[in-house]
Structure 1
Amino acid sequence: MKILITGVAGFTGLYLTSAAEVAGHHVVSLQADLTNKSAIEAELRQVSPNAVVHLAALSFVGHANDAAFYDVNVIGTMNLLEGLSSLPKRPSCVLLASSANIYGNCEVSPITETQSPSPVNHYAMSKLAMEFMAKTYFDRLPLVITRPFNYTGLGQGSQFLIPKLVAHFSQKAEYIELGNLHVEREFNDVRMVCDAYIQLLTKGVAGEVYNICSGKPFTLKDVILTLERLTGVCLDVRVNPAFARANEVHKLYGSPKKLENCIGPLRAYDLQDTLQWMLKTQ
């Protein structure tokens, strides 16, 4: 199967490309700028993909330009879907990567796909807007929407929490400055997420939304204690108010039931194994 992936050079894109090729698929990277509608249409006509995974997005919640979230995550996605819907032979599946951040602060966990969205930042709002916009293409394209919960792995940008922690422990730093310590998250492995994406391309039901999650949350203290155990290093953890986000989502973990009913049990990656993998190359 010829799979077109947007955002191939990004963190997730690199692992998804590898997973797809190992599974015997041919991967093509979208080269056009998502904000350039005519360039996208021309490239799609040339490639004529059998399936599409749309990963390209602004994904760092603390990005300085709020308007850019909507330019890329909403308008860019609309340009892509418009181009795909105009192809003579449309793909068998178009997987859109949204985000579990659209759920916001939920009083009840684990979170299911039926939970009402309540985004608390522009990144999450842009992803929710993307989902609603995509629904207007349900009659033209076989869309599958995914909402991945937090995940990490080797090569993720240092602006994200887990790579920042791993780097500080590897370098035996005296201290680390963090924002809100009272958060509870899933910290899944990027390889698990990519395995789910590959399977959803053939097993996912068009028009459905799937949480990509393990349902196993960890506190920041859990992560720090695991890194202390793995490295023998103890850091002085300092709270820097400048790093604390307004409207922080305090608890975010999901139910994988719908996903597992669709594709079967996910390959499990223990948090310690993921952290050890990330530490080895520091």
Structure 2
Amino acid sequence: MRVIVTGGGGYIGSVAVERLIAAGHAVTVLDNFARGHRASVHPSAKIVECDLRDGAATSKAVQGAEADAVMHFAALTLVAESVRVPGAYFETNTGGGLHLLEAARAAGITRFVFSSTASVYGEPESLPIREDSPKRPINPYGQSKWMTEQMLSTYADRYDINHAIFRYFNVAGATELRGEDHDPETHLIPVALKTLLDEQGQFTIFGADFDTEDGTAVRDYVHVIDLVDAHIAAIEQLDQPLGAMNLGTDSGFSVQQIVDAVERVTGQSLPITHGPRREGDPAALIADSSKARETLGWSPEISTLDQMIGSAWDWFQANPRGYVD
């Protein structure tokens, strides 16, 4: 199958390209490389430098790819930044998504997989979070993704585009050649590992008084390989609409459990400091991913803390400065 991967220079997108090519698919990457890395793209993929905010350029790139399917990862993803500059998030995530949908429709592409987020749910009323839980995003990032979901559903109904929407909770880990290289880095596990790698600063635990077993916040983590494999399973099964699915492990790990695992895997002591809870930070976010399991026959095979942290640690040690573009 010929697959367009938007954001193929990003963390998850680059792993998707790697796994798609390993599975025998031909890949065209669309990325403006504003935050992604050209060096992270598999050498067998065709690269088209394209900004989805430019509708004409997006249409030309999609038509030229002669693709059977789209995997749409390209997005701005920093919650705090979305609060400061909401317009950039609606322009890139929602407006860019509309341009991509229009281009896919015009090119006759009927398979479309969208990378969404658990942020569409906002603060959940109950756990685990199901796909039919209320959608009340509390920041522009989540709002922009929810709006794109709604657009995709409308286009899918009107133009017979078979689609899958994946709502992520927390993603971690690396392959041998591809890992996380963000600036700034905001994800918990790489922040902890970089604290050890840089041998400076401290790792802050925000809140130790949550209503959880050890008082620290609990989140549902999935290995990036497991996550990407769900996307590949979906794109190969999109002879009918699949709808929205959560991706997680149906359980969670606390911040303290992650600290303990980081120290266990690396054999180093992580310098810790404690800070107050961050505003709007719920005690726990856990996915009900039974729909993905039942629909796709998918299950997270390597999403243990030791495997996620161990693979990320290996990648950071091999690439202490990240990608060299």
| CA-to-aligned-CA distance 1:174-196 (integer Å, 9 cap, x gap) | 63234345321012111111100
- With over 3 angstroms needed to count, the CA separation of the structure-2 counterparts of 1:233 and 1:207, relative to structure 1, is closer
Alignment partner of 1:84 is 2:108: no
Unpaired runs of at least 5, structure 1: none
Moved more, 166-175 or 55-64: 166-175
Deviation at 1:228, TM superposition (A): 1.7
Distance in 2, matches of 1:193 and 1:68, equals: 27
Deviations, residues 198-237 of structure 1 (Å, cap 9, x unaligned): 0000224416111122112111011001112223333342
Query: How far, CA to CA, are the matches of 1:5 and 1:60 in structure 2?
Result: 21
1:198 match: 232
Of 83, 88, 110, which residue of structure 2 is paired with 1:68?
88
2: CA distance, partners of 1:111 / 1:146: 13
Mapping for residues 1-282 of structure 1, pairs under 5 Å: 1-30=1-30, 31-63=49-81, 64-87=84-107, 90-138=108-156, 139-140=158-159, 141-154=161-174, 155-156=179-180, 157=182, 158-173=185-200, 175-180=202-207, 182-204=216-238, 205-206=240-241, 208-240=243-275, 245-269=278-302, 270-280=304-314, 281-282=316-317
Q: Distance in 2 between matches of 1:78 and 1:249?
A: 31
CA distance in 2, matches of 1:3, 1:9: 15
Query: Which stretch of the first structure deviates more once superposed, 153-162 or 37-46?
Result: 153-162
Instruction: Give the SS at the match of 1:98.
Output: strand
Residue number in structure 1 paired with 2:211: none
Q: Which moved more, 1:202-211 or 1:190-199?
A: 202-211
Write the distance in 2 (CA, Å) between the matches of 1:164 and 1:48. 40
Return the alpha-carbon distance in structure 2 between the equivalents of residues 16 and 202 of structure 1.
14
- Equivalent residues of 2:173, 2:310 under 8 A apart: no
Give the Cα separation in 2 of the matches to 1:174 and 1:67: 33
Distance verdict in 2 for CA 1:40–1:214, change over 3 Å: same
Aligned residue type for 1:14: S
Q: CA deviation at 1:135?
A: 2.2
How far has the Cα of 1:250 moved from its partner?
A: 3.2
C-alpha separation between the residues in 2 aligned to 1:249 and 1:122?
18
Q: Which string of whole-angstrom CA distances, capped at 9 and with x for unpartnered residues, describes residues 22-70 of structure 1? A: 1000000123211101111122221121010000001121224222111
**How many Å separate the matches in 2 of 1:184 and 1:115?**
19
**How much does 1:169 deviate?**
2.9
Q: Residue 180 and residue 58 in structure 1: after superposition, are their counterparts in 2 closer, same or farther (change >3 A)?
A: farther
Equivalent-residue separation in structure 2 for 1:54 and 1:24 (angstroms): 19
TM-score, normalized by length of structure 2? 0.80
- Once residues 295 and 139 of structure 2 are traced to their aligned partners in structure 1, the CA distance between those partners, rounded to angstroms, is 30
2 CA distance for matches of 1:201 and 1:230?
34
TM-score by length of 1: 0.92
Q: 1:171, CA displacement in angstroms?
A: 4.2
* SS at structure 2 position matched to 1:19: helix
Distance in 2 of aligned mates of 1:231 and 1:103: 34
Taking the aligned partners of 1:169 and 1:223, their CA distance within structure 2 comes to 14
Shift of 1:136: 2.0
Letter in 2 for 1:254: A
Read off the aligned partner of 1:5 and give its amino acid letter.
Answer: V
Cα deviation, residue 265, structure 1 = 3.5
Q: Are the equivalent residues in 1 in contact too, given 2:122–2:136 (CA < 8 A)?
A: yes
